Structure 1
């Protein structure tokens, strides 16, 4: 399918109404809606939609959309705090520890690494925690601005 916006909408609708545990399952569901895509394209679409995998009680996984699904716009800035996927940010020295909802840390860290190439040396992400390492001379306030928050020094 050539129309990306329509394809992203179809993927979102499928994920909202089905338990999808793999890209193969999703490719099959897309094909049933006359939406033929390659696995590579689907992978990029899932990344753009910020889809995460979350464990289910039976030990399998399910793809989930973020609470507020706003695809990244090329050249635009993301708001990491919309929808409450980032729960808290705390600093130890210059290092920032970011707590997220389960399953979201990797996607958020990827966005931070790609949007703050100068300010952030790198991130390390687990399931629900990100360690953000700023470059020398970058203030806590600047990191918070990058994360789209107003800086408050509560300490």
Structure 2
């Protein structure tokens, strides 16, 4: 998993487990876990994660907006049409070959749409290994 994906996962956890009022708060919590992030990167991450500030009785805080699954499915479909070179099922794994430099993006997209059958992904430069529970689910 690349640093950005890992960092965004941590940001999601921080938002889910804490009431966060400012962008400075998740930055401090990430720093506490030895994940250093600039304010600009954190701001971009929060936008990509669809975080929004809501106001509850005069107290603003961040929440994760739910994005419809079809939004991610459409983005993945367009992305796959442009960048997918090969897809093959091998036992309980799916091997995706992509154009150079795009495999980690595929893994990130797949993690974003939270497919129940998907256990995890391991991505390199042009190959993404998708691990499923069993052959049928792959």
Band of TM-score, shorter chain: 0.3 to 0.5
Structure with the higher fraction of residues in strand conformation: 2
Report the TM-score, using the length of structure 2 for normalisation: 0.47
Instruction: State the TM-score, normalized to the length of structure 1.
Output: 0.42
